[in-house]
Structure 1
């Protein structure tokens, strides 16, 4: 059943579409590299014009992602020229179409991903937006694209997760970690979540994790072996890296698969090739951002599946808290602190 707020969102979307386009807008821009609070400036800039194959979106909400923090610091793999707007994931309403844009209509409520959406309006390729599930509110839908597609590709495309397998998820109370927990359960896997505190453990359990281990309190390797009766984890979903990866290699099952998603822990591990050979497991890299260009057909499959799962209630983005647009740096600072669970959302327009 659709969320009761979703009907309201649809009505507002049609109102948004009828609004005349302004000449200028507010946008958060990185003007100097550093922590978000010092790097970001709220500026007034012209409303962008969609080019061929592009759409202009009136932004309703932006989900904060760790890459936004890295963009502010100049540590992300993509380094836009200063000044630039961070923000890589949004929900909004299509306000205008560029020449040749197809598959989407003015007034449609959409989600999408592209660097530069932390503004009141954003231009994206029409291929990079898709209809927002009617079952999700703006705050929930804002966080559906990046984390959930990352988790979907990691579990299904890269690791080929099977029903009944043991799935170990690091940072299981974070945005992408919770997505992996929910998608793992939806796929019929048995999930072990690793979190950083008792409070986060409660969130992972509520999301459905069968076993939850607290980092620094529980022995991760022993805990996984005990939970799996010595079998080990068939699939490891690791957005943390460093020590988390090393521990995973000690409790990976025969023919297990470790999916390297990121290095939120701050350390990039070396690959122990000899250990990989001796224990007969695989290490798989996942850079979700390559798929829209390299395999857009798979993006379409993931979108269809995520919409179905959202409408069935099998996945539901968890929102830690929301802040108004004027306080966007606070959202990124909270994310950088590691104290949040699920997603932090920046509300741009009501």
Structure 2
């Protein structure tokens, strides 16, 4: 990726609200690409250090905080994660159980939390429902497949090639459809006996999001998770009206949703302990290979969650 270079920086002043964390692993998100291109809703002043998911050990902590040096933590941060050290707000960090690696932990704060919020808060997915998950082999999509199956729902997964569909199937998808096939909407309808999906989980946007409305069940909900296609879906309101359907954005922020996020993390770790979740972590890139990792993500050459080892 153009414009990226490694430099030495001072982390800045300590305000008594942040941990200094020695980063062991940092995960990539499509929002990192958008933020780097100044196309994301958060627009840090340039130059800046991207990276929103990290895991590592606490180097220093405010005396009044619950944390101490040596604690193993992971967190979502606004940016600054693709570095050897990062500042982490005390209230957003969560402890990593000893049996979870830093690489796996770095894959949890954004993608898995987002999918938990989607199915437990944005809508309340039920075991008797069918959910359509787009980009089901990507970080956020694969998390959605696993969580939906843990709830007991029937999962239809879409992806761009057979290898990715096989991965989605390995992680619980009941039906897999290649959305490079122009007839994918009809295939979804056929798989639901013409009824359509009760819940559509869309991290892609663009044309995929627009076509999804054609395979949404009556009284269904389309969850707007992101815009990996780079294009925001313009949803015709009449399509929703005629199906008594709804579109809902999936979004959370620690400043407003601290209690919700704690609840979601607690549920997530229970699922992990029961073996219901099995995150796929791609660790072939190191921090020094960040440009290559971002390019691979942009080119859709990755599966699961891309995590840099630091």
Backbone CA RMSD of aligned residues: 1.4
Change (3 A) 1:320 1:218: farther
Q: Is the 8 A contact 1:155 1:237 kept in 2?
A: no
> What residue number does 1:182 align with?
146
In 1, are the aligned partners of 2:57 and 2:73 still within 8 Å (CA)? yes
8 Å CA contact 1:195–1:201 kept in 2: the answer is: yes
TM-score (norm: length of structure 2): 0.96
Corresponding position: 1:138 with 2:138? no
Contact kept? 1:51, 1:99, Cα under 8 Å: no
Aligned equivalent of 1:12: none
Q: Is the 8 A contact 1:48 1:56 kept in 2?
A: no
**Aligned runs of 1:244-323 on 2, under 5 Å?**
244-288=208-252, 290=253, 292-323=254-285
Measured after TM superposition, the shift of residue 99 of structure 1 is 4.5
Whether the 8 Å CA contact 2:205–2:228 is kept in 1: the answer is: yes
Deviation at 1:191, TM superposition (A): 0.4
Write the distance in 1 (CA, Å) between the matches of 2:54 and 2:242.
44
Counterpart contact for 1:133–1:310, Cα < 8 Å: no
Report the alpha carbon displacement of residue 337 of structure 1 after superposing the two structures with TM. 0.9
Question: Shift of residue 49 of structure 1?
Answer: 5.1
Structure-1-length-normalised TM-score: 0.85
1:127 partner SS: helix
Work out the CA distance in 2 between the residues paired with 1:323 and 1:95.
24
Cα deviation code 1:233-286 (max 9, x no counterpart): 010000111221122111111111100111111221222111211111111012
Q: Which residue of 1 aligns with 2:298?
A: 336
Q: Which sections of structure 2, spanning at least 5 residues, go unmatched?
A: none
- Give me the whole-angstrom Cα distance separating, in 1, the residues matched to 2:53 and 2:270: 20
| Total equivalences in the alignment | 309
C-alpha separation between the residues in 2 aligned to 1:153 and 1:134? 25
Over 3 Å counting, the alpha-carbon distance change for 1:53 and 1:150 in structure 2 is same
User: Quick one: which of 190, 207, 212 aligns to 1:226?
Assistant: 190
Q: Which runs of 4+ in 1 moved over 3 A?
A: 47-50
Matching residue within 69, 78, 87 for 1:106: 69
Matched, 1:214 2:197: no
